[in-house]
């Protein structure tokens, strides 16, 4: 579903509005022939009922969809949007491509780590120099926080590995980052996970198209969790210690797909 139009400053170009949900395009894709653009989640749901363009009824399927042109992505990224936490008191207005970064630090975000955990971490940092035997306790607290988040996600299965998007653009990465933040992902690893959504940060076994094709038989061994509401999974190192170092990355990998992700 797209972003609520009322959250934006000024008028929004009608070409940036999803004709299905009437919101500003989120994770946009385009039908190649008629060039109509839609939110990825909206058009995917539409195709579960019929294989036509919602605007002109021309024949279109999921396989036909393509990323929207760069100029449209740039137009979207420059839009000024109110913070998701406006109802909790945040008055910030930010560029759409900076929204995820803002949310990860927003003091009004109700899904930020609880204050008692933050205070405990600060306390441990203060006393680590006094008692070296406690130097690993802060890391243990953080690790448990990550485990709690990972365990809250739904197990996932990828049915179409060929639909992997190995070089997501900034807008798509921002959309996935937003979902991670909203799912309660610890702020300490959000940026690392997003960096690991691109093949430039993937381990040796996934680094190129050739190695991915060679290692595809191993993919079913991944323990993957669904990033809520997205055609994407997170493969955390803490759950995939059975995989070789050439197939996992700390703290985890984010894999984004055009389609083919389902919850188990």
Tens digit of pLDDT for each residue in 72-122?
999 999 999 999 888 778 899 999 999 888 887 787 776 655 444 455 555
d(CA 174, CA 121): 28
* 219-223 mean pLDDT: 90
User: CB burial class (10 A; 0-12, 13-18, 19+) of residue 220?
Assistant: exposed
Tens digit of pLDDT for each residue in 178-201?
999 999 999 889 999 999 999 999
pTM above 0.85, yes or no: no
Is residue 175 a contact partner of residue 211, using CB atoms and an 8 Å limit? no
Report all structural domains of the chain as residue ranges with CATH numbers, in order of start.
5-82 (3.30.40.10), 115-151 (no CATH), 153-263 (no CATH)
């Amino acid at each position: 579903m797209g972003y609520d139009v009322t959250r934006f400053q000024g008028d929004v170009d009608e070409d940036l509005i999803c004709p299905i949900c009437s919101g500003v395009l989120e994770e946009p894709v385009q039908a190649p022939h008629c060039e109509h653009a839609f939110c990825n989640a909206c058009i995917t749901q539409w195709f579960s009922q019929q294989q036509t363009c919602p605007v002109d009824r021309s024949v279109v399927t999921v396989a036909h969809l393509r990323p929207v042109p760069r100029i449209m992505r740039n137009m979207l990224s420059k839009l000024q949007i109110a913070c998701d936490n406006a109802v909790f008191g945040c008055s910030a207005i930010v560029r759409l491509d900076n929204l995820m970064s803002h949310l990860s630090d927003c003091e009004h975000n109700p899904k930020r780590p609880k204050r008692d955990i933050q205070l405990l971490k600060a306390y441990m940092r203060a006393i680590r120099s006094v008692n070296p035997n406690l130097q690993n306790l802060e890391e243990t607290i953080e690790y448990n926080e990550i485990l709690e988040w990972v365990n809250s996600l739904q197990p996932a299965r990828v049915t179409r590995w060929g639909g992997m998007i190995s070089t997501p653009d900034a807008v798509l990465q921002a959309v996935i980052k937003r979902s991670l933040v909203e799912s309660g992902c610890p702020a300490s690893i959000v940026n690392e996970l997003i960096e690991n959504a691109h093949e430039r940060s993937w381990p040796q076994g996934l680094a190129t198209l050739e190695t991915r094709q060679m290692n595809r038989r191993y993919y079913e061994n991944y323990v993957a969790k669904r990033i809520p509401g997205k055609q994407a999974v997170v493969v955390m190192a803490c759950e995939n210690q059975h995989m070789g170092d050439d197939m996992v990355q700390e703290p985890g990998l984010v894999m984004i797909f055009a389609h083919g992700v389902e919850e188990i």
